Amino acid sequence: MKRVGMLTSGGDCQALNATMRGVVKGLYNGLKGDVEIYGFEEGYKGLIYNEYRMMNSRDFSGILTKGGTILGSSRQSFKSMKDPDENGLNKVEAMKQNYRKLGLDCLVILGGNGTEKTANLLREEGLNIIHLPKTIDNDIWGTDMTFGFQSAVDIATDCIDCIHTTAASHGRVFIVEVMGHKVGWLTLHAGIAGGADIVLIPEIPYDINKVCEAIERRNQAKKGFTILAVAEGAISKEDAALSKKEYKAKMASYPYPSVSYEIAEQIKEKTGADVRVTVPGHMQRGGSPDPYDRVLSTRLGARAAKLIIDKEYGYMVAIVNGETCKVPLGEVAGRLKMVDPDSGIIEEAKLTGISFGD
């Protein structure tokens, strides 16, 4: 009998349930039902405080298209993982004890970068871990794609599509602020897919004058409107040149809700344009996974099941060049996958006339 624990940690995304379904179906079929599933509630919290549900294959039926996570999730920062909780409990020791008390053979952890660091810590502490790369940000090192990303691209693209018609009617400059944390994958893909004229991402710090020049060029060409896809982590050249301390001091009295509003004000000032900001926010993480993510998550989940059946632990399951593979957790944890400013996709986007404000 295999005893497999499972948890979803960090910000949710569209294909968490689909991935768990892939794991569980793979385990039930591969082990002919000789498996017990322990579903920990709300991420690492469930493992720390031993809050779990015994689950079976029926719990994972009918959830391929269901967004969110049937286990619930929470953010438990890696930084504070080694600190005791408010009652003095050693959280890492508590997780190890609960794992051992339940006699688990392994723990399947679905999450992003922070989650992955804790997963690696638990691996170093001797637990059998399999990590599955979740996030709309697509910033996990070692995999070409994370599940959730393509579904979020669809939503952000739909948003830019809708903005196009109203921007054109009113001859306005529109900023669509796209999620993605510290990286620009989501903005870059949605920006290209939605036909944005200007795309600002953290990996390519912008010069506001260059941004305004791109708007002016469109005005001169009688385009009538301009769409900017701006990553929530976009940064100006001046800010990128600040030391960490100086940047922190600037942000302490930052008067804008986010970078898009600062850019909007600067564009208004410099060009006199009528500027609006749209922030789709958490919508980008909501709803059903798209077909791409359903396939990806089913494959990653099934591959995780195969690793568990073969007793191969300590890996992240990745997709590289269209094939699933195992990547040692110790090699990828703590590394961020960013957009390469010199990559083909940036060169091609620039060739089609997209300005990155650089």
Question: Quick check: 202 binds ligand F6P (CB under 6 A)?
Answer: no
- The residue within the footprint of ligand F6P, chosen from 39, 43, 180, 184 (CB under 6 A), is 180
Nearer to ligand F6P, 11 or 289 (CB): 11
Question: Nearest Cα to 78, choosing from 40, 35, 138, 124?
Answer: 124
Known catalytic residue: 34?
no
Nearer to ligand F6P, 106 or 175 (CB): 175
Nearer to ligand F6P, 26 or 202 (CB): 202
Q: Convert 215-271 into a string of H (helix), E (strand) and C (coil).
A: HHHHHHCCCCCEEEEEECCCCEHHHHHCCHHHHHHHHHCCCCCCHHHHHHHHHHHHH
CA dist list (Å): 145 to 63, 111, 269, 327:
21, 13, 39, 13
Nearer to ligand F6P, 91 or 181 (CB): 181
CA dist list (Å): 120 to 62, 124, 219:
31, 6, 52
Question: Quick check: 203 binds ligand F6P (CB under 6 A)?
Answer: no
Question: Quick check: 137 binds ligand F6P (CB under 6 A)?
Answer: yes
Question: Quick check: 181 binds ligand F6P (CB under 6 A)?
Answer: yes
3-state helix, strand, coil in the chain (%, to 5): 45, 20, 40
User: Catalytic: which of 34, 59, 85, 137?
Assistant: 137
Q: Least separation, in Å, of the C-beta of 205 and ligand F6P?
A: 18
Helix (H, G, I), strand (E, B) or coil at 169: helix
Q: Least separation, in Å, of the C-beta of 179 and ligand F6P?
A: 3
Report which residue's Cβ sits closest to ligand F6P.
179
Strands 315-320 and 323-328: antiparallel
Contact 356, 345 (CB under 8 A): no
Stretch that binds ligand F6P, among 131-139, 153-161, 201-209, 296-304 (CB under 6 A): 131-139
Nearer to ligand F6P, 74 or 219 (CB): 74
Write out the residues near ligand F6P by the rule CB under 6 A.
11, 75, 112, 135-137, 179-181, 232, 285
**Catalytically annotated residues:** 137
